[in-house]
Structure 1
Amino acid sequence: MTKKTNTQPGALKALASARLSITLYGALSGAALLAVIAVAATGHSVNTFMWVRAVLLPVIAYVLLRITTAAADGSRRAFERMSTLAVIMPIAIIGVDLIPGVCPPWYAAAQALCMLPVIRVAFLTRGAALRTAFPKTG
């Protein structure tokens, strides 16, 4: 994205929406972590996979928010990373959760809910405003 692109209203609006979606993803991931803590505190079974995933996803939300902010500041590389992660993350998260026995259905549903804002980012990054703001090079 060039300096001129920073003034494109459509791109600015799309990136603001992406930032809001990533913030929502972070909040939902934090809520999923709290749910795992609550389930464990009440004596129910919580496996290592659930703990690791529940802790890592809010951290990833922070990293993704930083990448999105860099894209809004004009970094094409950050935009490409954000765009790629927004496609790969939901497929990987939901795909792994669908493996029988990996996690209970309530946890898989919570993780799928967390991915909805990320899916929105995947669509936003492929919209006309951001494709124009970050044209393919090469």
Structure 2
Amino acid sequence: MTTKTNLQPGALRALASARRSITLYGALTATALGAVAVVAATGHTVNTFMWVRAILLPVIAYVLHRITASAEAGSRRAFDRVSTLAVIMPIAIIGVDLIPGVCPPWYAVAQTLCMLPVIRVAFLTRGTALKTAFPKAG
């Protein structure tokens, strides 16, 4: 495992940008959780799926933030996880929301907006600086 000092400035900048994007993702998911709570409190229908996802996504944001910090410290394994999750999460989240009847359109839009910073992370982790800092093994 390399240390943070062994990563080039470009890689550190890219990982710092990824961490900020994950922080934004966390703030957006917390806002979505608040929206679900407000909708439920005002007597509108909120299904179990919406509650579970609204609660889990901010928790996932925290975990993803920690993993990204480990990647900043030079962990190849953490970088691989962040890189993989940044691709899988938007596809899974948006894909499920597109299934008719799973959630109301406003919730699907909110979840899509929450995924925009994660999509940015997917692009950042595939950039030249990070490909160079974490070359594929073998």
TM-score for the superposition, normalised by structure 2: 0.97
**Runs in 1 of length 4+ with deviation above 4 angstroms?**
none
Question: 1:42 offset after TM fit, Å?
Answer: 0.1
Q: Percent identity?
A: 83
2:7 and 2:133 in contact (8 A); partners too: no
- Once residues 5 and 96 of structure 1 are traced to their aligned partners in structure 2, the CA distance between those partners, rounded to angstroms, is 40
Question: 1:5 offset after TM fit, Å?
Answer: 6.3
User: Which residue does the alignment assign to 1:76?
Assistant: 76
- Once residues 62 and 104 of structure 2 are traced to their aligned partners in structure 1, the CA distance between those partners, rounded to angstroms, is 26
Q: Secondary structure at the match of 1:2?
A: coil
Q: Structure 1 unaligned runs (5+)?
A: none
User: Which residue does the alignment assign to 1:12?
Assistant: 12
Name the count of aligned residue pairs.
138
Q: How does 1:1-138 map to 2 (within 5 A)?
A: 2-3=2-3, 6-138=6-138
Q: What are the superposed Cα offsets for residues 69-128 of structure 1, whole Å, 9 maximum, x if unpaired?
A: 000001000000000000000000000000000000000000000000000000000000
Question: 1:6 offset after TM fit, Å?
Answer: 3.5
- Once residues 70 and 62 of structure 2 are traced to their aligned partners in structure 1, the CA distance between those partners, rounded to angstroms, is 12
Question: 1:3 offset after TM fit, Å?
Answer: 3.4
Question: 1:2 offset after TM fit, Å?
Answer: 2.5
2:4 and 2:74 in contact (8 A); partners too: no
Pair 134,26 (structure 1): closer, same or farther in 2 beyond 3 Å: same
Q: What are the superposed Cα offsets for residues 11-70 of structure 1, whole Å, 9 maximum, x if unpaired?
A: 010000000000000000000000000000000000000000000000000000000000
1:6 and 1:12 in contact (8 A); partners too: no
Question: 1:4 offset after TM fit, Å?
Answer: 7.5
- Once residues 96 and 6 of structure 1 are traced to their aligned partners in structure 2, the CA distance between those partners, rounded to angstroms, is 40
Superposed CA RMSD in Å reads 1.1
Matched to 1:10, the amino acid is: G
TM-score for the superposition, normalised by structure 1: 0.97
